[in-house]
Amino acid sequence: MGINNLFATNVTGVTGLQRQLDIIANNVANSTTTGYKARQASFQELLNQDVKAGVDPASQPLGLNAGLNVTNQAPDFKQGNLEETGRQTDLALNGPGFFGLRDANGNLYLSRDGAFSFDSDQNLVSAQGLKVELNESLPKAQWPKGTLKIGRDGQVYIKEQDQTTAVGQLVLYQAQNNEDLLSVGNNLYQVAPGRTLQSNLTGANVGAVIQGSLESANVDLAAEMSNLIIAQRSYSMNTQMLKANDELWEAINAFSR
């Protein structure tokens, strides 16, 4: 393998490790973000370069690794811990589903962050002001004044003294494959073009709605710090090799002049 190839291998290694460091830093920064799903870097060896093993024409070529590349930064959708808050508009999902949120243009977003509140029009909204998708069985103007109650199945009620009135149903979503979900920032996801979502699911398909609780981020800080140390060491070694290759190249150029 020539010096140029060694240099290119080190560059791809440094680039991949920098992306891994960025992912780890983002996970740590969001370790207290409600419903955040840690991202995991997937590495793949770049195509090997075949070189002759010897002068024998029948000899098998040797495969030399050409570096690493980060091929995926997929979220890990495993369940986070549920923390009780006691707020009636705080909701958590204990299971694989997602809350549906709509912007002013009707675009659908998915989220695990159930830190909701009522806006001035008494719509249940996210921290970004997106409306929580709800199939109303009773027009909002006719809702009685009382306490919001949401069942584990997503049924929405208003309790007024001794009377409980059903007013709607949360619309919960589940992708056929979580790999079909694209992160669009602000702890939100959208389904990839051409992929479909399932809605109005109940039970194990989406999990239980837990009122008065929020889902914590599923970031394992101990694991992230361990990964950080390993990635930093690897990054340092690769940058040192880059420097050594650069010095060797300069020496060869100086000798050839």
Domain range enclosing 208:
82-215
Same-domain status, 41 and 71: yes
Q: CA-CA distance, 150 to 170, in Å (whole number)?
A: 9
Cite the DSSP H helix spans in the chain: 3-29, 221-256
Q: What is the mean pLDDT of residues 74-89?
A: 96
Same-domain status, 42 and 64: yes
Same-domain status, 34 and 106: no
Same-domain status, 199 and 94: yes
> pLDDT category, 174, cuts 50, 70, 90?
very high
Question: What pLDDT score was predicted for residue 213?
Answer: 99
Same-domain status, 171 and 94: yes
Strands of 28-116 (E only): list them. 39-45, 49-51, 62-64, 68-75, 82-84, 91-94, 98-102, 108-111
Same-domain status, 227 and 115: no
Same-domain status, 23 and 119: no
Same-domain status, 62 and 128: no
Q: CA-CA distance, 33 to 126, in Å (whole number)?
A: 14
Question: What pLDDT score was predicted for residue 29?
Answer: 96
Question: What pLDDT score was predicted for residue 46?
Answer: 46
Q: CA-CA distance, 188 to 12, in Å (whole number)?
A: 30
Percentage of the chain beyond pLDDT 90 is: 57
> pLDDT category, 233, cuts 50, 70, 90?
confident
Q: What domain count does the chain have? A: 2
Please determine, for residue 246, whether its predicted confidence score (pLDDT) is greater than 90: no
Please determine, for residue 181, whether its predicted confidence score (pLDDT) is greater than 70: yes
Same-domain status, 100 and 206: yes
Identity of the amino acid at 240 = Q
Q: CA-CA distance, 98 to 92, in Å (whole number)?
A: 10
Same-domain status, 108 and 169: yes
Q: What is the mean pLDDT of residues 171-194?
A: 93
